[in-house]
Structure 1
Amino acid sequence: MMRMIAIWTLILAWGLALTGPARAMDSLVQAKNFHADARTAAQRQVPILVLFTSPTCPYCERAKREYLVPMHMDPGYHSRVIIREVNINSTASLTGFDGKPTTEGAFARANKVSIVPTVMVFDPRGTATSEAIVGLLIADYYFGYLEAAIDEGMRMVRGKKISLKTGP
């Protein structure tokens, strides 16, 4: 009996070990430091796509599951965009593009985001590069809207060849 319990314990532990990384892979990176993300974006010459969400929003979960997480997981997008998530109701600390401390909710309010899901694409200076995509819109065209916003962001960033000063 003890041997059977030990075997089941090992199987359960092994299963839990496998689901941890899988869960991390099926979500977006929560925004923590846009100033650091902006330095990376400037080096790579890519825009930063921000998905504004709320934990109770089923459309947000659908946008993540069907569109943004697959983009985030696709190595082809790593050379085109940095993707982050911001919870519009959160008081979690966040460093803004300007390097100043703020919160996720304050960042959303500063960008006039009150409806979720909303997608905005920014250049490394924190300037929006296209119109916000508000709501899930027509699901059949949503991927196209995201692609167009990323392409516009890339044109803006690569056209300006943005570099951020790291010192005086």
Structure 2
Amino acid sequence: MTTTIAPLPLALPTPSSLRASAQAAARRGEPLVIMTTLTGCPYCDLVRNHHLLPLSRAGEVVAVQLDVRDRRSILQGFGGESTTPADQIAEWKAKFAPTVLFFGPQGQELAERLVGVAVPDFFGEYLEARLQEARKRLK
């Protein structure tokens, strides 16, 4: 008998509802971590594959991604309104990919955004500091 192991995803999930995702994260005592992404962006791949996916797989964060160019998918915003990922990102004025944002259940930002990757070697420390800040403000 052969056992087949499904490959692990190389992408973070894309939510259909920010409100539901943030409320689910808050029930776990976690902020909703949202990464803006762009196809072909090596820094997005770095943040996703070396930081957010491992933390997500370990159950340490609730992380999702939104594509800055996605104008086709319907996304429910924090207030229940319908939008697209691209329009939501524009509303947040998140102009760079990757940008990592930290939200509470009502859509409030809980920590300073991580914009881009200035120093890859220190990104994990910056991320951990923002996660600690967001968790503290969530309680």
1:49 aligned partner, one-letter code:
V
- What does residue 149 of structure 1 align with? 130
Secondary structure in 1 matching 2:105? coil
Rounded Cα–Cα distance in structure 1 between residues aligned with 2:21 and 2:129 = 21
Pairing 1:98–2:82 present: no
Rounded Cα–Cα distance in structure 2 between residues aligned with 1:99 and 1:54 = 25
Secondary structure in 2 matching 1:137? coil
1:66 aligned partner, one-letter code:
H
- What are the superposed Cα offsets for residues 84-129 of structure 1, whole Å, 9 maximum, x if unpaired? 1011110111111111111000110011011111111111111111
Pairing 1:117–2:101 present: no
The alignment's TM-score, normalised by the length of structure 2, stands at 0.90
Rounded Cα–Cα distance in structure 2 between residues aligned with 1:105 and 1:27 = 18
Secondary structure in 1 matching 2:7? helix
Rounded Cα–Cα distance in structure 2 between residues aligned with 1:134 and 1:52 = 10
Give, in angstroms, the shift of residue 27 of structure 1.
2.3
Which aligned pairs between 1:14-25 and structure 2 lie closer than 5 A? 18=5, 21-24=6-9
Structure 1: any 5+ residue segments left out of the alignment?
A: 1-13, 159-168
Count of residues in correspondence between the two structures: 137
Identity percentage of aligned residues: 27
Rounded Cα–Cα distance in structure 2 between residues aligned with 1:42 and 1:133 = 20
Structure 2: any 5+ residue segments left out of the alignment?
A: none
- What are the superposed Cα offsets for residues 16-73 of structure 1, whole Å, 9 maximum, x if unpaired? x74xx3143x321112211111221232232111010111211111211111111111
Rounded Cα–Cα distance in structure 2 between residues aligned with 1:54 and 1:42 = 27
Rounded Cα–Cα distance in structure 2 between residues aligned with 1:142 and 1:38 = 23
Return the index of the structure with the highest Cα Rg: 1
Pairing 1:38–2:18 present: no
- What does residue 65 of structure 1 align with? 49
Within the candidate set 108, 115, 118, 1:137 is matched to 118
Q: Higher helix share goes to which structure?
A: 1
Rounded Cα–Cα distance in structure 2 between residues aligned with 1:52 and 1:153 = 18
Rounded Cα–Cα distance in structure 1 between residues aligned with 2:37 and 2:54 = 17
Rounded Cα–Cα distance in structure 1 between residues aligned with 2:27 and 2:45 = 31
Rounded Cα–Cα distance in structure 2 between residues aligned with 1:129 and 1:33 = 19
Which aligned pairs between 1:71-82 and structure 2 lie closer than 5 A? 71-75=55-59, 77=60, 81-82=61-62
